[in-house]
Every structure is written in structure tokens, then in C-alpha cells.
């Protein structure tokens, strides 16, 4: 039976440089569109055939505690300023265990930050201030 590995942190790497660590990641998924077509067999019955269509990938959403770094905001600013070609980057989501050893890695291509959300602040709450970044990309593979 394989060991059950828990992940303690997720790291975002952009162009092989570690940008930051995150506590939540979602959207690590791919899907193949299904094309259906009807076909009549020799007995005259209609059969629905299914073929694979285009591949599509979900946007990756990462959430972390706000810190003093602003690399994500600088990266997002390239998109805001209209420099999408410069903003497109290759990157990785790396899951690490409590010993900071790599457990899993997903590489994405031509990613760019399509959304960046700052924290909702409430002075009366005990919540940790977090920010979210959504990365839109053109492909994802598990390494």
C-alpha cells in the first residue's frame, strides 16, 4: 500500500524561479471535449458515437497569506498595461510536504495572471489577510 502523503505547502515557480508559497490551489485539471455523432448500423438502428475533441484546461487559482512581496502584482500589471506577450510565462505548481520535499509537480505553458484579488479587511475579525491569483494558461502536465 502506498504511503499517504500530506502536502504542507504549494509553491509557484515562474520561469524556474520560486515566486512564493500558497496554502490553497485549485484548477489543476484538464478535460477533453466530447463530440457526439449519430451513425446507423447494418440493422438500421441509430447509434451515438463519441469521439475526443479539443483539449481544455481549467484556470489555476492560488491563495496565500498577504506578505510584503509584490511580484504577482508586477506580473499582473504587464497584462493591465497590454503587454500580454511579455506576461505569458511557463511555470509550475509544486506540492511540498512538511520537510519541504517535492511531492508532485504540474507544469503549465504560456500562463498569465487573468485576475488578482487583494484581501477583504475587517479590523474586528481575527481572519488572516489573503490574496488570490488566477492563472490562465494553454496547457498543464503532471511531471
The CATH number of whichever domain residue 54 belongs to comes to 2.30.110
**Residue 127: per-residue pLDDT:** 75
Contact 36, 74 (CB under 8 A): no
**Average pLDDT for runs of 10 along the chain of length 143:** 67 94 94 95 93 96 90 95 96 93 96 91 75 96 94
**Residue 1: per-residue pLDDT:** 46
Contact 141, 105 (CB under 8 A): no
- 101 in a domain, yes or no? yes
- 3 in a domain, yes or no? no
- 116 in a domain, yes or no? yes
- 125 in a domain, yes or no? yes
Contact 141, 106 (CB under 8 A): yes
Residues in the chain: 143
- 35 in a domain, yes or no? yes
User: Phi/psi at 36 (nearest 5 deg)?
Assistant: -105, 140
All three cell numbers of 23, joined, read: 496554502
- 2 in a domain, yes or no? no
- 1 in a domain, yes or no? no
Helix (H) / strand (E) element for 73: namely helix 71-80
DSSP secondary structure string for all residues of 75-137: HHHHHHTT-HHHH-EEEEEEEE-TT--EEEEEEEEEEEEEEEE-PPP-TT--PPPEEEEEEE-
Q: Quote the number of domains for the chain.
A: 1
User: 64: domain range?
Assistant: 9-142
- 20 in a domain, yes or no? yes
**Residue 66: per-residue pLDDT:** 87
Amino acid at each position: 500500500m502506498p504511503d499517504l502523503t500530506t502536502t504542507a505547502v504549494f509553491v509557484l515557480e515562474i520561469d524556474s524561479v520560486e515566486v512564493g508559497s500558497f496554502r490553497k490551489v485549485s484548477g489543476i485539471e484538464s478535460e477533453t471535449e466530447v463530440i457526439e455523432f449519430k451513425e446507423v448500423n447494418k440493422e438500421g438502428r441509430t447509434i451515438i458515437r463519441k469521439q475526443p475533441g479539443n483539449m481544455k484546461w481549467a484556470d489555476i487559482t492560488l491563495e496565500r497569506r498577504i506578505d510584503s512581496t509584490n511580484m504577482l502584482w508586477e506580473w499582473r500589471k504587464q497584462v493591465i498595461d497590454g503587454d500580454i506577450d511579455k506576461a505569458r510565462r511557463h511555470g509550475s505548481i509544486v506540492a511540498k510536504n512538511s520537510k519541504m520535499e517535492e511531492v508532485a509537480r504540474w507544469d503549465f505553458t504560456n500562463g498569465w495572471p487573468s485576475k488578482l484579488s487583494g484581501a477583504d479587511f475587517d479590523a474586528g475579525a481575527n481572519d488572516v489577510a489573503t490574496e488570490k491569483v488566477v492563472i490562465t494558461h494553454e496547457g498543464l502536465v503532471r511531471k
